[in-house]
Structure 1
Amino acid sequence: MNRTDRLYALVEELRAVAPRPRSARWLADRFEVSVRTVERDISALQQSGTPVYAEAGRTGGYCLDKAHTLPPVNFTAAEAVAMALALHRLEGTPFHGPASTALRKLIVAMPAADAAAARALAGRIRLVGGGPATTVPRVIADALEVRRVLRIHYGDRGGAATVREIEPLAFLGTPTSWYLVAYCRLRRSVRAFRTDRIASVTVTAEVPPPRALQPDDLDVPDHAVRSLALT
């Protein structure tokens, strides 16, 4: 179990038994880690705003304040990623810290499978700078979630139009444009398609084969590309 999944599982364990406490030793045995690791994880949760507190005494341990937590919420992966993108735009403002804490609370309150899907989707979005404010048609925006081969009419920078079948892999946001990164069957390689040059889209019934996203697939010269944070 990676650390992100363990933090979520810790909160769910404490939520299930609240207001009763769980000792650090019990939690360490439960998640097969050291007591020190549990203490570090609890500290990270507290710093993120999760209402976990320590109860002293022989039968004490860590407790979760149920009155200050959210019940499981039914956000979709795309909705969680949308909030992460909105949070990204708050960087450098006085509200970035509180918004980041709010997002972490919502992620913790999501069912485990939905939270995992949101993290997987966020892992396929890369940003250069603040990302653009341009509008992307819904059928293109849903490409990573739908997981179908798309047939597009695409105009290149010279104005030449082609029909392509593509397998969506990721989104790349630059300061001026959004790009859909996809395996192009016409060119037999991974290409970045500027979304405002996609004239039309048809969603086919074909599910594309799994393809790993390579670092070179998102190479943007002279710019630092970073993943979207969903924490």
Structure 2
Amino acid sequence: MNRTDRLYALVEELRAVSPRPRSARWLAARFEVSTRTIERDIAALQAGGVPIWAEPGRTGGYVVDRARTLPPVNLTAGETVAMALALHRLGGTPFAAAGASALRKLLAVLPPADAAEAHRLAGRVHLVGGGPATPVPAAVADAVTARRVLRLRYADRAGTDSVREVEPLGYLGNPTHWYLLAWCRLRDALRCFRTDRILAVTPLPEPVTRRWRPADLDIPTERVRSLNLL
């Protein structure tokens, strides 16, 4: 069992028996590690905001506050990133620190595979400034997660329509608009499609095969940052 899985399992073990304690020795035997490793793991969980404390005495041990911890959470990667993006908007408000703490607690109780997928998806969401609040068509919103080619009917800034097949690669948001980052087969190049100019979307069965880096954007790198899941 790797450390991430063990941290998750430790919280669930303590939740299952709360308010009874589990000793470091008992937990070490349960997870087949040393008591020193358990002590380090508990310290890491406490530093992450998990309400665990130690009860002294011969029958003492570690206890978690069941009422203040979450059971396993079945959120999709998209749902997790949506919450991260919403909490990102708290930056500069009196609730910014509380929002960051809430996100850490959410990630701590996600199954490791789901948390890893959420991190991968978040790495494809890039923001310039505070990020926008404009709506995005559902088919476009699902495109990067689904990794399927789209056929778009798109209007350029002059209002001229075109139909093109694109390979969705990520999202870019600035303070006023969302853009779909995609490889445009018509132009044979990376393009940003402003989502409010997408007039129609048809998902195709063909999978996306291309990869890209934020450095491929014609935007100064210091202005672009990935959505951070902490």
Matched, 1:23 2:14: no
1-structure distance, mates of 2:149, 2:82 = 23
2-structure distance, mates of 1:178, 1:10 = 40
**Amino-acid identity (%):** 58
Aligned amino acid, residue 125 of structure 2: I
Matched, 1:141 2:141: yes
- TM-score, length basis structure 2: 0.81
- 2:224 is matched with 225
Q: Secondary structure of 2:176's partner?
A: coil
2-structure distance, mates of 1:226, 1:81 = 15
Q: Secondary structure of 2:71's partner?
A: coil
Aligned amino acid, residue 45 of structure 1: L
1:88-140 CA-partner distances (Å, limit 9, x unpaired): 00011111222222222222223333222222211111111110111111111
- 2:45 is matched with 45
Question: Unmatched 5+ residue regions in structure 2?
Answer: none
1:4-34 CA-partner distances (Å, limit 9, x unpaired): 666545534654665443539966x959899
- 1:154 is matched with 154
Larger CA Rg, structure 1 vs 2:
2
Aligned amino acid, residue 229 of structure 2: L
- TM-score, length basis structure 1: 0.81
Q: Secondary structure of 1:206's partner?
A: strand
- 2:212 is matched with 213
Task: Identify if the C-alpha distance between structure 1 residues 11 and 150 changes in structure 2 by more than 3 Å, giving closer, same or farther.
Answer: same
Task: Identify if the C-alpha distance between structure 1 residues 216 and 95 changes in structure 2 by more than 3 Å, giving closer, same or farther.
Answer: same
- 1:77 is matched with 77
Cα deviation for residue 168 of structure 1 reads 0.9
1-structure distance, mates of 2:155, 2:45 = 48
2-structure distance, mates of 1:31, 1:164 = 56
After TM superposition, list the pairs within 5 Å mapping 1:187-206 onto structure 2: 187-206=187-206
Contact in 1 for aligned 2:11/2:64 (Cα 8 Å): yes
Matched, 1:92 2:113: no
Task: Identify if the C-alpha distance between structure 1 residues 105 and 179 changes in structure 2 by more than 3 Å, giving closer, same or farther.
Answer: same
Question: Unmatched 5+ residue regions in structure 1?
Answer: none
Q: Secondary structure of 1:203's partner?
A: strand
